């Protein structure tokens, strides 16, 4: 009985640690997703500007 109780407590502690780590990783993932979104927006804007510049050069 005592060994089972100790085992259950250890498992509970590990689950708590893993849950905290998962929460931390989830927050980091959200930050990275926002950064990736902004990088995509900036890249798309730069590609659009480059296209306009090329078209201006072609038709000038």
* pLDDT tens for the chain, residues 1 to 60: 788 999 999 999 999 999 999 999 999 999 999 999 999 999 999 999 999 999 999 999
Determine the pLDDT at residue 1. 74
- Report pTM: 0.69
Count of structural domains, the chain: 1
- Residue 34's domain comprises 1-60
Determine the pLDDT at residue 37. 99
List the alpha helices (DSSP H) in 1-60: 2-59
Cα–Cα dist 47/42, whole Å: 9
């Amino acid at each position: 009985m005592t060994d089972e109780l100790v085992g259950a407590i250890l498992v509970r502690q590990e689950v708590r640690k893993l849950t905290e780590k998962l929460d931390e990783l989830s927050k980091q993932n959200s930050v990275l997703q926002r950064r990736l979104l902004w990088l995509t927006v900036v890249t798309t804007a730069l590609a659009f500007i480059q296209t306009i510049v090329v078209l201006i050069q072609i038709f000038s």
